[in-house]
Structures are given as C-alpha cells and as structure tokens.
Structure 1
Amino acid sequence: MTDTLHHDVTGHGPVLLLQPGGSGHPMGLGPLTERLAEHFTVVTYDPLGLAHGRLGQPVPEQRPADWSEGARRVLEAVLPAGESAYVFGTSSGAVAVLDLLARYPGRLAHVVAHEPPCVTVLPDGEARRAELIEQLDGPGRPPAEGGSATPFGVFLARVLRPFSAYVPAVTPPPGRLTLAYGTDSRGQLLHRTAEALAERLDSARVAFPGGHLGTVDHPVEFADVLTETLRSSARTSA
C-alpha cells in the first residue's frame, strides 16, 4: 500500500466503492463504471497506484489488510457524514472487500464479493491453491518492475500468493454480504469457493453474467445485476 490514496470518483448517488481485481489496476472497467455511475457515486480504488503513474516502481508483497485499510481511508475521505457505502470487489479485490467488511463494518451498507480466490476454505483447499498458482504463474511471469512491467506481472509476483491464502476470520453482520459467481463459472474452482464462503459466512449468493472476467466481458449486464443486488439489499434492510 502506498501513502497516497489513489482513487477516481464519477457519477452521482449513493457511494459505491469499486475494488478491481488482479493488482488493483482498473484496466477494462470503464464501461462497467460508466453504467454504474448512472445510479451511484462510483469510487474506484487503485491500491498500488498502477493506473496513476506507479506501474514499474517496486512493490512489496501485498496483504488483504493493506488493501482494506486503504479502502477504509478512501471511504473516510469521500463518504458524507452519517452515510454508509456500498462496496464491490472482484477476484483479489473481492478478497480485499471481505477483509474490509470483517475489520470495518461500521459504515458499510452492503458488500458484494465476486469470485474471491480464497480457495483454502475448500476441504481440498491447499491442493487447489497450489494448482491455481501453478496454472497462473507456471508458464512464465511478465515483469513486475521496470519499463516493461505489467499489472499482471505485479499480480503474480506480489498479490496472488498472499491473497489466495486468505481465510475470513469473522462472520459479518447478518444481511451485509453477498457472494457472487459467474454463470459461466458453475462447476469451476471459484464457483465452488464462492459457494463454500457463502455457507461459511451465512451470506446470500447471486449469479452474475459471464465468468471470472464478467466485469469486462459483459459490463452493462454485470452492472445491472450489481445495481439490482444492492437495491434489493437496501429494501431488505429497510
């Protein structure tokens, strides 16, 4: 985590904190954000500042707590007094928002975690985590530093291992969490993980369009399902 809180704000309405996956770089999320901004003040958090000029600079190994603490500070900076925020995270960003909810539930209205790779919650989790790391990092890693660095290289070198080992330690307050998985992910590892987490944390579960990259592949449809999920949570809690 850097000292500077890198984030962008667009739209009007209730605050929705958006935590991208991978290394936290919001690449490809423009159409999703644009659609969500029709209904929300979308605050997109870039925890490593990779979209704000820091790509290529050295990055230490990350922890979910690093990102959730940064997200908390961003919310403190943008959230009007007396209001609570919606939060959405995908992939490694979903791990971060699970940690945010566990540590700082006070001003969070509802959290949606889309396919967090917390695979060690599965009965065979350690073996599945080793397979996931081998699948993603085995063929060769793009640079994480220097002029040819890529966000994916940073993810593989500094994010994948600690985030895939994360296990939520606290059950959230009732009705505050939705576990999301892609319709195209049914039967796959991260669908199994989302189901296991939903049971472990006694939370709702919702199918979203596409697979693990549904935020990019089906941005409008994905945004609409997210909007309805958050609105439904508001009606339920009213």
Structure 2
Amino acid sequence: MPNIKVPGATLFYETQGSGPVLLLIPGASGTGNVFKRTASKLAADFTAVTYDRRGFSKSYLTGDQDYSHRLNQDADDAKALLQHLSPGKPSHVFGTSSGAIVAMTLLLRHPDSIERVMLHEPPLCAALPPGPREPYEQETKIAYQVYREKGTHAAMEGFFKLNFTASEAQLIRRGTEAHSDPFSVGNQLYWFERELPVYPFAKYQRQELEKHVDKIVFATSEEASDLPAGRVPQIMAEDLGKKAIVLPGAHCGYLTEPDDFAQAIVMYME
C-alpha cells in the first residue's frame, strides 16, 4: 500500500499512468476513491495521483493535530506528496469543492510546486458579493449546528439543498445509503466536525492570488453554475481578469461524467 509519512499522519495515495504529475484533491468525502474513473481516463496524458486527505479513509492520524491550522496542514500534505512523486519539478493540481480551497492554499504557500492548478467550485464564502454571501454563510453554519444537534443524516439534507442539484443530491444520497465505502460514516463525521466550520470561511486572498494568476484555471460546472459554489469561480475569475471554464455535469461531474470531465481537464491543463 503506497503511503508517505508527514507530520502527524500517514497519507495513502495511488497513481495511474505516466507523464507529468497531476494531483487530484478531493472535497468533502476526503477520499481519492471519488476520482477513480476520471483518473483512469487522465492516465493517458498524466501520472494521475489520487489520495486520501489526512484523517479520511486510509490516511490515518499518527500524532497530535493542530486543528487551528488544519487548512495549512492539508496544503502542506499535498506539497509533501508532490515533492515525493515529482521532486524538484512543478506539477499540475486539480482541486474540487473544499479540495479546491486546499489547492488554492497550496498555491499560496508553495507556488514553486505548481505548474498549473484548476480550482473547481470552491465553496469560499468570502469570494461571494455581500448579497448572496450572508445567506450562504448562515446556511453553512446552520448545517454544522444541525449536525451537532441531530447528526450527519439530518445535516446532509440541508447541505444537499445548498450545494447540489436535485438529481445529484439523489445520486449521492443513494450512494451513502448503500454503505459501499466502509469509511464513509467516519469520513462524514470528521468532515462535519473538523472541516465544515473552517474551510468555507477561509480568507479570499485576492492580492496574493493575483501574483500567481497565470497558473490558475477557474472552473464552474455546466449544471450547477448558478449555485453558490458554482458562482464562486466565475466571480474570482472575473475579479482577476480571467474567465471561468465550464466542466461537464454538476458539482460532482467527475463521478457522473468521467470521460468528458477528464477530457476537459486535459484540454485546459496542457
């Protein structure tokens, strides 16, 4: 089982293909399993790297955690993995949802490690204008409170309405109920407790991002571009003098449209 040790954790990862390294950073699920079908398509052009973020699935904690700097640690973990797989060479990175916030932080903390980074629908509250920002922040806080009071199942229903199309929410709901992943319950608990209250409320460091704007590809989705997370990359791109690309499917297009999704990534990453 391929893994690397980082401060306070051991990271599990897998690779497919050859060529330039393309690291795929997952969102709320925390596990690289969500990218399996897309990664297999990307393997024709890249060394596609999937991994479980620390605390999720097979990437287990080995020591004390500094949760006050968890986002920075997540970004540093990605840097360690890139250095392990492509020492001394900048790599390509794709991050989706909260994984896009990790990828953005990776760019800001370790810009020399990145050749190009695609930020797919980061749920970054601070990037939204004041009108839609307040309700999105409030609903995100409510989702966390519902989790604390009623558990993950009840909280997910509110989160579905906030971030997913109806058809996509139903697909994820069926997958969760099937219990196909033995780590899914633990992953949900860890995400609600340690990530939801932090990542969506990260700072929008516009001036710092502007220094590296040539490396960034902002990506929304064909079916969810009007939802908050879908609007964020469009707003950020316009703010930084660029235009967001449109990827197939909705927020989880890498699951529902893996062939077309991978083809679009290749098109804009090369």
TM-score normalised according to structure 1 size = 0.84
Q: Secondary structure at the match of 1:38?
A: coil
> Aligned partners of 1:18, 1:130: CA distance in 2, in Å?
29
How many angstroms does 1:211 deviate by? 0.9
Query: Aligned letter for 1:114?
Result: H
d(CA) in 2 for partners of 1:2, 1:49: 10
The answer as to whether partners of 2:12 and 2:59 remain within 8 angstroms in 1 is no
AA of the residue aligned to 2:127:
V
For the pair 1:48 / 2:54, whether they are aligned, the reply is: yes
Count of aligned residue pairs for this structure pair: 226
What displacement does 1:202 show? 3.8
Matched residue, 1:4: 10
Write the letter of the residue equivalent to 1:48. Answer: R
Residue 117 of structure 2: SS of its match in structure 1? strand
* 1:73 counterpart residue number: 80
SS of the residue aligned with 1:149? helix
Decide whether aligned partners of structure 1 residues 137 and 44 sit closer, same or farther in structure 2, where only a CA change above 3 A counts: farther
Specify the alignment match of 2:180 in structure 1: none
CA contact (8 A) 1:183 1:209 kept: yes
Q: Tell me, what secondary structure is at the counterpart of 1:4?
A: strand
- Give 1 or 2: higher helix fraction: 2
Match of 1:234 in 2: none
Cα offset, 1:2, TM superposition: 3.7
Cα deviation code 1:151-186 (max 9, x no counterpart)? 222211111120000123212424210111111012
Instruction: Give the 5 Å matches for 1:115-134.
Output: 115-124=121-130, 125-134=133-142
Helix, strand or coil: the match of 1:75?
helix
- Give per-residue Cα distances to partners, 1:133-165, cap 9 Å, x unaligned: 43576374339xxx9833222211111120000
- Once superposed, what is the RMSD of the aligned Cα atoms? 2.6
Q: Distance in 1 between matches of 2:85 and 2:25?
A: 15
Displacement of 1:217:
1.2
Query: Deviation per CA, 1:60-92, whole angstroms, max 9, x where unpaired?
Result: 7473211111111111111044x3200000001
Q: How does 1:76-155 map to 2 (within 5 A)?
A: 76-81=83-88, 83-124=89-130, 125-135=133-143, 138=146, 140-142=150-152, 149-155=185-191
Which residue matches 1:25? 31
TM-score, length basis structure 2: 0.75
Alignment-derived partner of residue 236 in structure 1? none
Residues 26, 46 of structure 1: 8 Å contact kept? yes
Residue deviations 1:1-50 (CA, integer Å, cap 9, x gap): 74323322221111101101114212332111111112110122322153
Call closer, same or farther: CA 1:24–1:58 in 2, change over 3 Å: farther
Aligned to 1:219: 258
Q: Which amino acid aligns with 2:85?
A: V
Match in the other structure for 2:21: 15
* Cα distance in 2 between the residues matched to 1:182 and 1:58: 38
Residue aligned with 1:21, SS: coil
Q: Is the 1:179–1:205 contact (alpha carbons within 8 Å) kept by the matching residues of 2? A: yes
CA distance 1:24–1:108, shift in 2 (3 Å): same
Alpha-carbon distance between aligned partners in 1 of 2:141 and 2:35, rounded to the nearest angstrom: 24
Contact 2:79 2:110 in 1 (8 A): yes
Residue aligned with 1:52, SS: coil
How far apart are 1:53 and its partner, in Å?
A: 6.3
Q: Specify the code of the residue in structure 1 equivalent to 2:196.
A: L
- Structure 2 residue 190 is the aligned partner of structure 1 residue 182: no
Indicate whether 1:193 and 2:232 are aligned.
yes
